[in-house]
Structure 1
């Protein structure tokens, strides 16, 4: 804009000077240039140096205007790159970006390797790109599912995982999609998806994801079956334990034995732990607990006779007290 004004006023000035001189004298002057005589009005000879100065200054100003334009363009591009870096940091997905200026690079190298975690979401920013990200994070933090269009987040990104959890709450059937892709997601998310999946699926469907179970999820399943009055068989529980390759200890087996009391029939409870004790000796205490809970005293005593003297001391003490007429609750001994 300034360059246009300079051109305009320069032309006006040359026109005024030339016009003023021409009104005073219309004489001509001849100047030999490279042996060629050039005859022009005196007014033209006066404004000719002005014109040459104008042309030289015009190119000088145009050159530096172009330099400033390129510099501003570079800063604008760096600004956009910094905004992209902040967006990545807010989404906790930082990545290295390229910067043109040293100043932007000094700032960008920090944000490219950092997370930005807002302490609150009442941030007054005028940049629409940052505003959109902050609003998205606010909604996700408030438990809403947000469609992340054009945003590429890694499967273990905490914001993505929170958004998936929100979606499963709004749309429980989406848990099935998560379970089918559990190799991509952390174990904790898959456990949450499995629990949600249990709420609307039968045991046959649930068993398809037996390999994802751990002791907490198995206990949750048994409790869920009891609360919802669904059906489950001992073969189902055995299958899940085997497919999940659970590393269970004695307390875990006892926990299972306690939970299945209101879910399985007595003979199924006994059958389950008869099979388990053949596979894992750590389940022997739970087998014995089941026998005593079912008042199968003789069978329990026979089993204890096959164990070493220092094993299962608590149950031996329970039977000795029972023989002496002392009827204490079995739960005190497990």
Structure 2
């Protein structure tokens, strides 16, 4: 209630009380105070405590009204200081503003910690919940696996998604449970698929029939060559056949596999590949030359209408007594 309205209502109320008492008891009552005889109506004696209460209430309301005014002015000043701080943070400046109230302390610390340009260190957060949220954010962002159940985050929440990625990275087998969940979003499916490609067995991959990219196939081939991915030659062929490569990519695949697969098997594999995918033909010719099957190589080149400059150059050099490694041209 506003002070003026309280003052007016107090006068009206006290006046009504005085009239009510005076109408029933129209008598005076005398009191001797410090030798002075005070003789006034009883109705006046009744309202004196009310008058005192009203005066004290007015002083109380005035005091806190003035205090609220000062606090409001301080808050407005702090709001301007915070706006300046936020502007300086956006501009990459080291801002250190002093606030007259505590209201903007947490906001200023959080704002400084989110600077897009400078690392201003760990914020000094006094609020326990806010500090816990910040520490959780830092841990998840750094790759740690955290317990988030008590926060009841949605599965679309970016913090939840990153924490799930951290779980997948910490233990690739967790990717199997992620892929088994039909409600998993595309971002986590991609992360789980990549984890299986980089660490899973051929049997684990086969359960989900993933759609491979060119880079996925190269990862699997390199794992196979390094003996940390068990797969049969037929399955290698089937896996490579799922993706279309450029001529140079097929050649790179042949170069990687020739250190792992026996020459006859590898040549047979690329013979099948070139019949299914014309882009694999030059990789097949590369293997024929590399394994010294020159006569067969000549026959195929003669039967093709295309030109294979690198292979033909190698044959030309060989015919003139300069046997050159195929890898110098590929």
- Fold in common (TM above 0.5): yes
Q: Deviations over 1:77-135 (max 9, x none)?
A: xxxxxxxxxxxxxxxxxxxxxxxxxx99xx9xxx9xxx766835522110112211221
Task: Give the match for residue 87 of structure 2.
Answer: none
Q: Deviations over 1:31-62 (max 9, x none)?
A: 99786444463465443332332465677789
2:321 corresponds to: 325
Residue matched to 1:240: 239
Picking from 48, 51, 54, the partner of 1:53 is: 51
Give a deviation string over 1:220-249, Cα, whole Å, max 9, x none.
Answer: 222222222654233323333444xx3421
Q: Is the 8 A contact 2:224 2:230 kept in 1?
A: yes
Shift of 1:304: 1.2
Q: 1:303: how far off?
A: 1.5
* Conserved? CA contact 1:233–1:264, under 8 Å: no
Question: CA 1:174 to 1:318, structure 2 compared with 1: closer, same or farther past 3 Å?
Answer: same
The offset of 1:331, in angstroms, is 0.6
How far has the Cα of 1:328 moved from its partner? 0.5
Tell whether the 8 Å contact from 1:175 to 1:196 is kept in structure 2 after alignment: no
| Equivalent residue number for residue 311 of structure 2 | 315
TM-score with structure 1 setting the length: 0.62
Asked if residue 147 in structure 1 is aligned to residue 143 in structure 2, the reply is no
Maintained 8 Å contact 2:178/2:189? no
Q: Deviations over 1:240-259 (max 9, x none)?
A: 3444xx34211211111111
CA RMSD, Structure 1 to Structure 2 (Å) = 4.1
Structure with larger RCO (C-alpha < 8 A, sep 6+):
1
Unaligned runs of 5+ in 2: 1-18, 32-41, 76-102
Contact 1:176 1:197 in 2 (8 A): no
Per mean C-alpha deviation after superposition, the further-off stretch among 51-60 and 128-137 is 51-60
Determine which of 181, 184, 187 is the counterpart of 1:185. Answer: 187
Given candidates 276, 280, 285, the residue that maps to 1:279 is 276
What secondary structure, in the 3-state scheme, does the structure 2 residue paired with 1:262 have?
Answer: coil
**Residue 301 in 1 paired to residue 298 in 2?**
yes
Indicate conservation of the 8 Å contact 1:222/1:263, yes or no: no
User: Structure 2: how far apart are the matches of 1:322 and 1:188?
Assistant: 48
Residues of 2 paired with 1:154 and 1:313: CA distance?
Answer: 55
Q: CA deviation at 1:165?
A: 4.0
Question: How many aligned residue pairs are there?
Answer: 260
Question: Which structure 1 residue ranges, 5 or more long, are not aligned?
Answer: 1-30, 76-102
Whole-Å Cα distance in 2 between the matches of residues 164 and 307 of structure 1?
A: 53
Q: CA deviation at 1:324?
A: 2.0
**3-state SS of the aligned residue for 1:275?**
helix
Cα 1:271–1:32 change in 2 (3 A) is closer
Structure 2: distance between partners of 1:143 and 1:63: 56
- Measured in 2, the distance between the counterparts of 1:57 and 1:261 equals 102
- Structure 1 distance, partners of 2:20, 2:145, is 86
1:222·1:259 contact (CA, 8 Å) conserved in 2? yes
